[in-house]
Amino acid sequence: MSKKLKISVIGTGYLGATHAACISNLGFEVIGIDTDQAKIDSLSRGELPFYEPGLDELLVAELKTGRLTFTTDFAAAADADVHFICVGTPQSKDSLAADLTYVESAITNIAPHARSGSLIAGKSTVPVGTAQRLSAILAKSAPNVELAWNPEFLREGFAVEDTLRPNRLVVGVTSDKAENILKEVYKSLIDAGTPWIRADLPTAELVKVAANSFLATKISFINAMAEICEAAGGDVTVLAKAIGYDPRIGSRFLQAGIGFGGGCLPKDIRAFMARAEELGAMQALEFLREIDAINVRARQRVIDVVRGELSEDLTQYRLAVLGAAFKPDSDDVRDSPALDIAAQLQAAGSSVVVHDPKAIANAKKRFPNLNFATTVEECVTGADLILHLTEWREYRELSPSAIKALVKGAIIIDGRNALDRDKWVVAGWRFHALGRTPV
């Protein structure tokens, strides 16, 4: 067996920090690089700058082995065999397209240090064609460094699990050599039975956006069915259960409610549309416009429900919002439907108090004018109505009768179809969920 590969991970945000700790866990020497000194200092101390279950323990354990280190100095990766690019590709400020500034500067920064024969493997989600374009640039600045694309499918809240036990590994490569290097990195996962898919560069880039578009479509599909159920007096939760038993459909990602948010799904479908437009293939993705519109409409529908339950004029009301993160087990509030709804209700004149087990600090940064509570009790006391918008386990475990003793009005809107309706109704609550008849 040849010498163990050395790995660099460029960009130590959510994806990069997880990838660096996990690759170190596979037994490799890993150097994590970021231009943000504060982030590097924090990670070096074993402190995660964000919340992700299980990752903090893994980070501390890997730092202790001595295999994992962090730096702002790109030159420190000069002897690495593989450089993983894990920087963000957010939505551009002035269009639907992805902003590729960070990917481009990561490659430009590492190129002068990357040793001859090493491999750069992009993990960031990029518009199709990016890898080929960057390969051409790299060919000039670092002719003996190859570029591959190895998309990441990790979910927030399950990042470690998804990295160490992925349901597939996809590599876009232009040579057997590049594929073999990546096979060496992922050997233990491949040995454990993880399916391995070799693709060309454009296909590898497309796999990621196609997967996220499919997931977004599934969610918007069930939310469209929720709208129909409301109009026809049906129950979307029963409908989802019934269609989900068909294995061709499957029951996951059919949870109707206020829709998808986060740092991936919304921006990825928009960037995909923008890229299809550039490619002259927009017709193929017209449906994604509708997927986006259904998703945005779900947020508005909740506000309409609040108005229907209280009054058109919301200025006299105190509303309690349970949940600010875009999904449970995360402190991420990027494009969070919960927080967006809270802000819109506040803009409509009501007094809104938001609670979240982990995301308050991030929520405050985005909406400093909202009111925040540190406990559920503080959040709901004196409220005219409660909105349940992020399905944290602790909200499912609340006692409806204990909460009833604190509120002014016993009305709850379940924006996630995750609460036990019977339990709340028996305790004397008016219960309204998207896609179901209110009781």
Give the strand pairing for 82-85 and 68-71: unpaired
Rule CB under 6 A: say whether 297 interacts with ligand UDX: no
Distance, C-alpha 4 to centroid of its chain: 32
DSSP string computed for 255-272: --SS---SSSHHHHHHHH
CB of 218 to ligand UDX, least distance (A): 7
Q: Which is nearer to ligand UDX, 111 or 154 (CB)?
A: 154
Rule CB under 6 A: say whether 264 interacts with ligand UDX: yes
Rule CB under 6 A: say whether 185 interacts with ligand UDX: no
Q: Which is nearer to ligand UDX, 23 or 389 (CB)?
A: 389
State which H helix or E strand residue 197 sits in.
strand 196-199
> Among this protein's residues, is 229 annotated catalytic?
no
| Tokens encoding 178 | 């590049």
150 closest CA partner among 133, 115, 174: 174
SS3 for 71? strand
CB of 426 to ligand UDX, least distance (A): 27
Rule CB under 6 A: say whether 415 interacts with ligand UDX: no
Q: Which of residues 187-226 bind ligand UDX (CB under 6 A)?
A: 212, 215, 219
Q: Exactly one of 86, 229, 264, 379 is catalytic; name it.
A: 264
Q: Which is nearer to ligand UDX, 327 or 421 (CB)?
A: 327
CB neighbour burial string for 80-93, b if at least 16 within 10 angstroms, e if fewer: bbbbbbbbbbebbe
Q: Which of residues 147-166 bind ligand UDX (CB under 6 A)?
A: 152-156
How many Cα neighbours within 13 Å face the side chain of 431? 19
Q: Which of 74, 326, 367, 395 binds ligand UDX (CB under 6 A)?
A: 326
Q: Where does this chain touch ligand UDX (CB under 6 A) — which range of 60-68, 198-206, 225-233, 248-256?
A: 248-256
Q: Where does this chain touch ligand UDX (CB under 6 A) — which range of 1-9, 69-77, 79-87, 262-270?
A: 262-270
Instruction: Give the largest Cα separation in the chain, rounded.
Output: 72
Rule CB under 6 A: say whether 261 interacts with ligand UDX: yes
Q: Which of 92, 253, 396, 425 binds ligand UDX (CB under 6 A)?
A: 253
Distance, in Å, from the CA atom of 249 to the CA atom of 221, rounded to the nearest integer, reads 12
Strand partners, 196: 169
253 closest CA partner among 299, 207, 227, 217: 217
Catalytic residue IDs: 264
Contact residues: ligand UDX, CB under 6 A: 152-156, 212, 215, 219, 253-255, 257, 259-262, 264-265, 326-327
